[in-house]
Every structure is written in C-alpha cells, then in structure tokens.
Amino acid sequence: MTAALEMTGVAADLGGRPVLRDVDLRLDAGDFTALLGPNGAGKTTLMRAALGLVPLRAGKINSTSAGYVPQRHEFTWDFPASVQDAVLSGLVRRIGLFRRPTAAHWQAVWDALDQVHLADLRKRPVGELSGGQRQRVLVARALVLQPSVLLLDEPFTGLDMPAQETLTALFGDIARDRAVLMATHDLTAAAYTCDRLILLNRTVIACGPPASLRDAGLWMRTFDVGPGSHLLKALDLVEA
C-alpha cells in the first residue's frame, strides 16, 4: 500500500539553524496520529516540509497530496467573504487567479462543507462564526483539495471544551479514509483520542500506539523534563 506521507532521513534548517534531523515516519490512510513535542521541537517545520515549503538539507519526502490547516490566527477573518468563498480560496492555485470557478469546483466546496457539517452556513460571512466553526472552515478549505493526508497545526488553541470535542470527533471521521497528522500541546487528550503518537524533538524519539509509549524515559527525552515532572504525572507514567 502506498503511504499517504513518508519521510526518510529528513533534515531541514531554518535561517541556517538545524531544526530537523534524521526524521523517519510513515502515515497511511486510516491513521489518526498526534505529533507531540515541546516548543521549538520542529513540529510546524515538519508539516511545512511535507508541503514542500521548507527545503531539505537531506532525505526525501513522498506524499500523494497534502492539505494543511493552519492555526486560526493565520487566516484573515475580517475579510468580507462568505463561508463558501473562504473554502473556495483553497482551490485558487488549481483554478488560477483570473479564471472563474466551474460547477465542479463549487461542488467540491459544498462536499467539503458537508464533511465538516457547515453546509447550512455556506453563505454566512466568516466574521460571524464562532471559534469552533472557523476552525471547521479551515478544515473544509484543506479538504476541498481531496488530500491523502490532512495536516493540523494546533487546531484546539483558544477553543472551549465542547468545540474541542466536536473537532476531535470530526478528525476521527476524516481519518477513516485518509491520514490525519495533528500537532498539539494537549498530550493527555492525544493519548486518549489518537491511534498513534509521534514524539518529536528535532528527530523522532518514538512512534507508536499510546499503549506502547508508556516508558517515562521517552517523554523525558522528548520534553527535556525530570522524573518528577507534572507532565509525567498527568500522563499517569509515574505515581502522583
């Protein structure tokens, strides 16, 4: 089976500073995987490399197609656009700047909105949406490209618990027929909801189902914490 995303020996620099080294990973359709690591571990750089936006110093990346969901603050929500227009913007490169979208393009937009349960709000201005609804617009904007892997960069930031739970269920549904890779700081939620975890700190420290990553030493290496860290206690890896 062809991998949705595969990295082999990947190394990347930013501003002349090494950020990723010797990264090996493989994601297949049906994988709902969390990418975990401290700030500066290279999570966003890894995703941008998968999109071809960061040059590699070494290694190679194979991906049939990838869709990227940025953090909400990276999108201009006060722009006077409807929900369906915001999703259509995900197809700009495919359509071309000066061509009109076809019926097939609009159908792709409406199909993507159906997947994130926002079809009934397609004509509403994006500025009127709640935080959780805005996040779903960004997911639809990525899904409109029908990617084999969906990359989510901290999708829960600033959202309340009901919105987080709605999104988690949505991501699980999306992962049924494609790979989903989610960078998140919510370690305990990732351990309970994701099929696999990738522990990253410049390189992959460990990867596998949550039940296989119960060695506290792996988390200590990843997050550079000691054996008495509250992080280990929150994950129930040491006695509280």
Each residue's pLDDT tens digit, 158-174: 889 899 999 999 999 99
pLDDT, tens digit, for every residue of 51-108? 999 999 999 999 889 999 988 776 777 778 899 999 999 888 777 666 788 899 999 9
Closest CA to 35 of 174, 205, 173, 228: 205
Q: Return the percentage of the chain with pLDDT > 90, whole number.
A: 78
- Which pLDDT does position 97 carry in this prediction? 67
Residue, of 1 and 8, whose pLDDT is higher: 8
- Which pLDDT does position 79 carry in this prediction? 77
Give the confidence band of 239 by pLDDT, cuts at 50, 70, 90: confident
Query: How far is it, in rounded angstroms, from Cα 131 to Cα 133?
Result: 5
Q: What is the mean pLDDT of residues 33-44?
A: 95
Q: Is the pLDDT of residue 240 over 80?
A: no
- Which pLDDT does position 101 carry in this prediction? 84
Query: How far is it, in rounded angstroms, from Cα 10 to Cα 16?
Result: 16
Q: Is the pLDDT of residue 23 over 80?
A: yes
pLDDT, tens digit, for every residue of 75-91? 777 778 899 999 999 88
The overall longest dimension of the chain from CA atoms, in Å, is 61
Read off the tokens for 126.
């994006």
Query: How far is it, in rounded angstroms, from Cα 197 to Cα 65?
Result: 22
What is the pTM for the complete model shown?
Answer: 0.93
Q: What is the DSSP letter of 144?
A: T
Domain coordinates of the chain in residue numbers? Answer: 67-146
pLDDT, tens digit, for every residue of 127-137? 899 999 999 99
Contact predicate 151/68, CB 8 Å: yes
- Which pLDDT does position 76 carry in this prediction? 74
Query: How far is it, in rounded angstroms, from Cα 118 to Cα 115?
Result: 8
Q: Is the pLDDT of residue 199 over 80?
A: yes
Q: What is the DSSP letter of 126?
A: G
| Cα dist from 161 to 106, 109, 147, 188, whole Å | 32, 28, 28, 14
Contact predicate 73/58, CB 8 Å: no
Query: How far is it, in rounded angstroms, from Cα 212 to Cα 149?
Result: 24
Kindly give, in sequence order, each residue whose CB lies less than 8 Å from that of residue 196, ignoring residues fewer than 6 positions away: 31, 32, 33, 34, 207, 208, 209, 210
